[in-house]
């Protein structure tokens, strides 16, 4: 008797994306100090026919949602979790900028642990190169 092998959640997601004929999904990672470069990368990738997801809030820039230190830290934690979900959803990661901080380094490691390809706008900053 043969048993059907169960699919992992990642395999199920890949199958559904194929069934829906979704375009390639790329998630942009990097320090929010590179938001302008992220927007430019978004334009290039979208022009190439890809679905692009990227950070939606720059917690380093002045904003009423980030004025209280406790609330800002809680928001940062929630946004990190949300960004990890974007990485899980994506087919590929694009790291923008010529600097890799701790958060971006952790995102790269997470993406690679999931088997996601990782590209860099500045390949020289790849921590595993």
Chunked in runs of 10, what are the mean pLDDT values of the chain (129 residues)? 76 92 97 94 98 87 68 85 96 96 95 96 91
Output the pLDDT for position 90. 97
Output the pLDDT for position 129. 78
Output the pLDDT for position 3. 63
Q: Are 71 and 96 in contact (CB under 8 A)?
A: no
Q: What is the pTM of this model?
A: 0.87
Nearest to 89 by CA among 40, 29, 6, 5: 29
According to CATH, the superfamily of the domain at 23-122 is TPP-binding domain (3.40.50.1220)
Output the pLDDT for position 40. 97
């Amino acid at each position: 008797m043969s048993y059907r092998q169960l699919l992992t959640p990642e395999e199920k997601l890949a199958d559904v994306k194929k069934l829906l004929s979704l375009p390639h999904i790329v998630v942009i990672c990097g320090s929010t100090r590179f938001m302008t470069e992220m927007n430019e990368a978004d334009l290039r990738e979208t022009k190439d026919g890809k679905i692009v997801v990227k950070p939606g809030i720059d917690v380093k820039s002045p904003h009423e949602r980030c004025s209280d230190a406790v609330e800002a830290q809680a928001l940062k934690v929630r946004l990190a979790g949300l960004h990890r979900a974007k990485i899980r959803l994506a087919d590929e990661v694009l790291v923008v900028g010529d600097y890799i901080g701790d958060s971006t380094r952790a995102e790269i490691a997470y993406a690679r642990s999931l088997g996601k390809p990782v590209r860099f706008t500045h390949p020289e900053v790849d921590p595993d190169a």
